[in-house]
Amino acid sequence: MPPKPKKDEQVRGEAADVTAFTAVLTAKLAETKSELLAEIKDTYTRYEAKLIGLQNSVEDHDQRIASLEQFANSTSDELTDVNSTSDELTAELAVVAAENAKLKARLG
């Protein structure tokens, strides 16, 4: 029966080793979990900041586009007015030219 105590000691030693190994793994797991959570939070914060920057850029470009569209519409309206005025002036010029021709005919 003397060999039996060695086996019990060996089993106890192995159990202690397993317990110690489990404790090390548990501690490492907790440490890794904390590191991963910190990294995820940091990454989320960076992407959130980038998203806010992109949203601000989009809003700025939206305002600029709206301003350009308004300017284009205003310019188009002004050109339409200029064309109308030009047509009116052309018609008046034709009338003046006709009257001028009549006067020249009378004088000449």
Token pair in block for residue 71: 């300017």
Give residue 92's pLDDT.
92
pLDDT in tens, 39-94: 999 999 999 999 999 999 999 999 999 999 999 999 999 999 998 899 899 999 99
What residue segments make up the domains of the chain, in order of their start? 1-79
What residue type is assigned to position 40 of the chain? Answer: I
Report how far residue 13's alpha carbon sits from residue 52's, in angstroms, rounded to the nearest whole number. 58
Give residue 43's pLDDT.
98
Give residue 1's pLDDT.
45
Question: Read out DSSP for 45-90?
Answer: HHHHHHHHHHHHHHHHHHHHHHHHHHHHHHHHHHHHHHHHHHHHHH
